[in-house]
Every structure is written in structure tokens, then in C-alpha cells.
Amino acid sequence: MIIREKPKLRVGLVGSGFMGKCHANAFRSVSGLFDLPLEPITDMLADISDEVARKNAVALGFRRSTSDWKALCTDPDIDVVAVTTPNALHEPIVMAALAEGKPVYCEKPLSNTLESALRMTEAAEMSGIVTMVGFNFLRNPMIRLARKIIESGEIGEVVSFRGRHAESYMSDPNVAHSFRTDPDGGGALADIGSHIISMGRYLLGPITHVLGQSQTIHKTRPIKLGKTERSPVLVDDATHALVTFENGVLGTIEANWAAVGRTMDLSWEITGTCGAIAFSQERMNELLFCKGTTGRATSGFTRIESGPTHPPYGSFCPAPGHHLGFNDLKVIEVAELVHAISGSANTGPDFREAYEVQKVVTRIAESCKEQIKKKV
């Protein structure tokens, strides 16, 4: 007996690198894990050449492939466009999809320049099209729990934020130049600082003031992979900033891609007047929670392990402590995208939110060049 099928959501994906594969997997998995109104189908993949596109379409389970992203955007059988190309190429693809009235799911950062990001944001808002940007770390049930704890007032009024995203993938001076070190949109602050900024905003609201300092640790890098010739690096390897949130919370943010020993220290500690919570992506299935009352004999940080009491963990596993992984966060994001496309409220982050994150990045970068430190 052939069973009844759900209505389909035909996905067109542009780009099939690191995040492209991650998108493809999420679209394939999501309907077996979540009860969604639409079933995503990995339909068409566009990439740099026919050959690459065809090869990766086979590998990632797409039915069709093309080297022409415009064709993908205008194809009448494509219902949603996902964009995972290098950042500088986002805008034309996104604009083409929006012009067709298609929902757009774009990897972060939305663009390499703030102006470009604003153009996309306004185009989407003008047409009322659903958009989403891939800040997948926000999708962690532990992060949702953190926000719930903050909103509940259990830690009192929040007063401090100490955030960081530190990895080490650029710590070797022989890692070559790439889009990451392109002065137009590259650097540690833009690449990973955006994650901790988006998380700070998700948990505590808008950031209104910043003061930054940045450093370029490795002054030159090989001009490209496999070459020995070197050229100057014009972006930051690490940036630290003092920040103020709209609600008065003060804190610091660090972005560092040369942090030897750190592979994924997207971490923060949030302190309230009568409690605190702390998190690191290094242990993404744990949240530390202290419910104040200093001086009691049994107070301290409680290590909460993820489980079915932390939605949507239960969509992946009915038993606690079994762990979600990085790719599962993308699946959750795609589930939210499908709900938004189906007419539910968009839980974001949409283009506007991505633009706001990028504005903070830009202001910190500007501040790094302007301010003068006090001499001791």
C-alpha cells in the first residue's frame, strides 16, 4: 500500500561547500524528525560549474543540478532558495529569488558590506517575503532554555554579559588568504564575532554602544593555498569590545580565530542580580545555572544536561542526555523555516536581524580604528 504524502517544499540550494552540505542534510532529515506542514525535497543544486554541481547533487541527494543560479531562482518548480555561497555573492542571488517572490534562507553574514545587507533587508521587507539567516547556534535547546530563564526573572535583573567566540582555524600563519581575509567583509569579528553578537542580542536585546580594539596577529599569509609567496593581512585575527545593551547591561565581546587550544568556544556568562547562567558551545548540551542566594550551604552552578524537557530536543530523541550535534541545530533551523513559510510566525533571525548584527560588527570595526586608549 502506497501511503499518502505531504505537500512538498521544493528546495533550490546555491552553493555546496561546508554549509551547503549542512543545509542539504537538514532539508533531507527534517521531515522525519519534526511533524511539519510541508515536506522539503532537495530538488535543485546550483554551483560554480556543471561538473561540480552535478557531482555534488549526487553526493548531497539533489534531483537536479545547474551551473546557472539564475535559472534556479526563476525555476517555477523551486519553492524556496537557500544560499550558501561566499558572502560577496549573496546579494545578486538573494535579490533574484526575492524578485520571484520566493522565500530565502541565507547563510550568515547576510553580506560583505552593511549597505548590501540593508538593500537585501529592505527588498525583503518591501515584498513581505519570508527570510531567514543561518545563525544556527541560536537553535540549541540550551540557548532557548537560557532565554526562558532570563525572561522568567529567575536570575533577577540582568547586569553583565561576558561573551566570546574563539576558535583556532587561522592560528597557523601558513593558512593562506581566502575570502576570510578579504578586507571587504572578512576578519575574525565578521566571521565569528557575528555569532556571539547574534547570541547576545537573542538573549539580551539590542546593543547600542561599543568600543573595540583589534589585532592582526599574523601580518602576512601565503597568497593562496599551496603557494609560498606571502602578502599582507588586512583584517583582524582578534577583536575585543566593550559593549552596552539597550537595557543597560554592560559587557565584553571577543572574537578570535587564532585562539590556539580552542575549537569552538562560543561562550558567555550572563549575570543577574540574583542568579547567573553560563554556556560554552564546547559543551553545547550543557547549561550552567546558578540561582543566587549566596551564603546557602548548597548553592552553586548546576550543570543542566539537555533532554526532552528542553524543546525541541524531544524531536531528536525521547531520552535525556543523548546529545544533539552541530548538524541537528541546522535541522531545527530548517524546521523553523518551514513553519514560517507555512504561515506561522517567523521566529527569525530574518534579514533585518542579520543586518542589525552586521551593524554591530561594523561599528565595532570602525571603533577599533577611531578610539584612542588612555596611557597608563
26 HSE (CA, 13 A, CB side):
27
> How many Cβ atoms sit within 10 Å of the Cβ of residue 51?
11
Tell which residue, 355, 370, 368, has the closest CA to residue 119.
355
Q: Return d(Cα 320, Cα 308) in angstroms, integer.
A: 6
| Grid-cell match 599582507, residue found | 232
Q: Are strands 80-83 and 104-107 parallel, antiparallel or unpaired?
A: parallel
Q: Is 316 in the site for its own copies (CB under 8 A)?
A: yes
- Contact segment (CB under 8 A) with its own copies among 74-82, 178-186, 223-231, 267-275 equals 267-275
Q: For residues 98 and 239, which CB has a smaller minimum distance to its own copies in the complex?
A: 239
Tell which residue, 62, 64, 70, has the closest CA to residue 89.
70
What is the rounded (10 degree) CA torsion for 240, 244, 249, 252? Answer: 0
List the grid coordinates of 74. 526563476
DSSP of 10-35, one letter per residue? EEEEE--SHHHHHHHHHHHHHHHHS-
Element (H, E) at 286: strand 286-290
CB-CB contact of 277 with 150 (8 Å): yes
Near its own copies in 337-356, by CB under 8 A:
none
Q: For residues 99 and 300, which CB has a smaller minimum distance to its own copies in the complex?
A: 300
Q: How far is the CB of 367 from its own copies (least distance, A)?
A: 4
Q: What are phi and psi of 186, to 5 degrees?
A: -95, -170
- Contact segment (CB under 8 A) with its own copies among 73-81, 125-133, 219-227, 365-373 equals 365-373
User: Which one among 101, 261, 343, 345 touches its own copies, defined by CB under 8 A?
Assistant: 261
Q: What are phi and psi of 106, to 5 degrees?
A: -120, 140
| Grid-cell match 545587507, residue found | 117
Q: Is 250 in the site for its own copies (CB under 8 A)?
A: yes
Q: For residues 112 and 281, which CB has a smaller minimum distance to its own copies in the complex?
A: 281
Q: Is 151 in the site for its own copies (CB under 8 A)?
A: no
- Contact segment (CB under 8 A) with its own copies among 80-88, 101-109, 225-233, 367-375 equals 367-375
- Contact segment (CB under 8 A) with its own copies among 177-185, 219-227, 248-256, 336-344 equals 248-256
Near its own copies in 170-209, by CB under 8 A:
171-173, 206-209
User: Which one among 74, 89, 317, 346 touches its own copies, defined by CB under 8 A?
Assistant: 317
Q: Is 149 in the site for its own copies (CB under 8 A)?
A: yes
CB-CB contact of 344 with 125 (8 Å): no
User: Which one among 11, 13, 57, 94 touches its own copies, defined by CB under 8 A?
Assistant: 57
Near its own copies in 276-305, by CB under 8 A:
276, 278, 281-285, 289-290, 292, 294-305
Q: How far is the CB of 127 from its own copies (least distance, A)?
A: 27
User: Which one among 8, 21, 70, 147 touches its own copies, defined by CB under 8 A?
Assistant: 21
Q: How far is the CB of 107 from its own copies (least distance, A)?
A: 14
Q: For residues 130 and 353, which CB has a smaller minimum distance to its own copies in the complex?
A: 353
Q: Is 127 in the site for its own copies (CB under 8 A)?
A: no
User: Which one among 77, 326, 342, 344 touches its own copies, defined by CB under 8 A?
Assistant: 326
Region at 2 (left for phi over 0; alpha for psi -120 to 50; beta for the rest): beta
